[in-house]
Amino acid sequence: MSSISSLVVFGATGTQGHPVVDAALQAGLDVRAVSRDVDKAEEQLSSRAQVFQADLLEPETVAEAMSGMDAAFFYLPVMPHSPSAQAMVESVVAGARTSGLQRLVFTSSAWFGPGMPSGPFVDGLRAVSGRLLEIDVETVVLRPTLYLANLVWPHIIREIRDYGRLSYPPLDAGRCLNWTATEDQAAVAVACLDAGVAGEIIDVASPEPVTGPDLCRLLVSVYGREVHYDPQTVEEFADTLSHMAGSAEIGRTVAGLYEGFNALAEDGPLVDTEALERRFGIRLTPVSEWVEQRLGALLDRYGTPSN
Ligand SMILES: NC(=O)c1ccc[n+]([C@@H]2O[C@H](COP(=O)([O-])OP(=O)(O)OC[C@H]3O[C@@H](n4cnc5c(N)ncnc54)[C@H](OP(=O)(O)O)[C@@H]3O)[C@@H](O)[C@H]2O)c1
């Protein structure tokens, strides 16, 4: 029987945090949603969540946010090898200890599993995860693959809508991999509060591994036009991301992740999603369903292919 009845979610307004807030509320937990901007968070999140102001770079506010809570979910909104990341991790570690947290769920936000070559991003994720798993608070690390949410980056939508071209991810056309819906990551995160998972790194993904061309075939129905996979090179992707992030260093660093995927000997990253569903008693979202329902709804809401 679990004694976890409350969860504090850091990054609650973000792509990864928001679904965790929703899944935890759905599971009947008391949820404290952390943001640096209370007004923004109250506007975005369910009124059933208690919005709380804290900053991962301000340790005392992190401890306050954890105070009286059973468990915490967090991820790094910065590059894992940066000094800011280290400071954020140490804030969380100190807060977890002083507040008597029972369980910490961290998502690495990216995949650094077996076969991934060393590089600043992957090494940073390995180091942060290792650090968290050595603390004396029960911790689990989720290790997701590529987020399906990346498919709503504005330039990707524009290129598909205007040219029928999917230029992302910058991977070989034959490479088959599991993508991850952030809603599925959230379902696993909440299930982890109850399960005997402390000390583990758990690969997270959504069912239905696809290649770039497979994904294009799924996109046809929501875009109502032919879509061809014409991936950027990793260098081109680094450039694009540098512009998006306003930082050449971030562009280069994240591009290393895709270089790593391309270097994996077989397909991948691939995750046994059936085993994940069985272990946690949850249903995950097949990629075709995510495209049809989630992406379809997002395109309707934020810009249909015709406008
Ligand atoms: N695997 C993939 O496909 C993939 C794709 C994209 C990104 N990522 C990774 O995901 C991470 C970013 O996650 P995301 O895309 O979910 O982020 P996001 O949507 O950009 O949101 C960032 C969140 O972090 C919070 N935040 C930022 N600075 C903070 C601070 N100092 N203290 C407390 N909260 C802070 C923000 O909250 P407030 O502004 O409300 O305070 C916001 O909720 C990065 O590590 C990135 O590398 C992975």
pLDDT in tens, 61-70: 999 999 999 9
**Within a domain: residue 254?**
no
User: 3-state class of 125 per DSSP?
Assistant: helix
Residue of 298, 136, 276, 296 lying closest to 207 (CA atoms): 276
Judge whether residue 304 has pLDDT over 60: no
Residue nearest to atom 15 of ligand 1 (CA): 15
167 Cα to the center of ligand 1, angstroms: 23
**Within a domain: residue 12?**
yes
**Within a domain: residue 103?**
yes
pLDDT confidence of residue 50: 98
Q: Is 150 in the pocket of ligand 1 (CB under 6 A)?
A: yes
**Within a domain: residue 91?**
yes
Of 9, 15, 38, the residue with max ligand 1 atoms within 8 A of its CB, to mutate for a pocket test, comes to 15
Q: Which atom of ligand 1 is nearest to the CA of 56?
A: 32
Residue nearest to atom 25 of ligand 1 (CA): 11
Q: Is 109 in the pocket of ligand 1 (CB under 6 A)?
A: yes
pLDDT confidence of residue 148: 98
pLDDT confidence of residue 303: 67
Residue 135's domain is classified under what CATH number? 3.40.50.720
C-alpha angle with apex 288: 283 to 291, nearest 5 degrees?
A: 105
Q: Is 14 in the pocket of ligand 1 (CB under 6 A)?
A: yes
Under 8 Å CB-to-CB from 131, ≥6 apart: which residues? 89, 93
When the pLDDT of each residue in the chain is averaged and rounded to a whole number, the result is 96
pLDDT confidence of residue 306: 53
**Within a domain: residue 140?**
yes
Q: Which atom of ligand 1 is nearest to the CA of 254?
A: 47
Judge whether residue 58 has pLDDT over 90: yes
Average pLDDT of the residues in 162-174: 97
**Within a domain: residue 104?**
yes
Q: Which atom of ligand 1 is nearest to the CA of 12?
A: 43
Q: Is 50 in the pocket of ligand 1 (CB under 6 A)?
A: no
pLDDT for 227-250, tens place per residue?
999 999 999 999 999 999 999 999
**Within a domain: residue 135?**
yes
Judge whether residue 1 has pLDDT over 90: no
Buried b or exposed e, range 42-78, using 16+ CB within 10 angstroms: eebbeeebebbebbbebbebbbbbbeebbbbbbbbeb
Q: How many distinct structural domains can be found in the chain? A: 1
State the greatest distance between any 2 C-alpha atoms of the chain, in Å, as a whole number.
Answer: 55
Q: Is 41 in the pocket of ligand 1 (CB under 6 A)?
A: yes
146, 112 in Cβ contact below 8 A? no
Query: pTM for the whole thing?
Result: 0.97
Quote the domain boundaries for residue 23. Answer: 6-147+181-205+269-284
**Within a domain: residue 142?**
yes
The separation between CA 37 and the C-alpha centre of its own chain, rounded to angstroms, equals 21
210 Cα to the center of ligand 1, angstroms: 26
Residue of 233, 232, 231, 227 lying closest to 214 (CA atoms): 227
pLDDT confidence of residue 86: 98
Amino acid at 105: V
Q: Which atom of ligand 1 is nearest to the CA of 41?
A: 40
pLDDT confidence of residue 3: 87
Average pLDDT of the residues in 143-162: 96
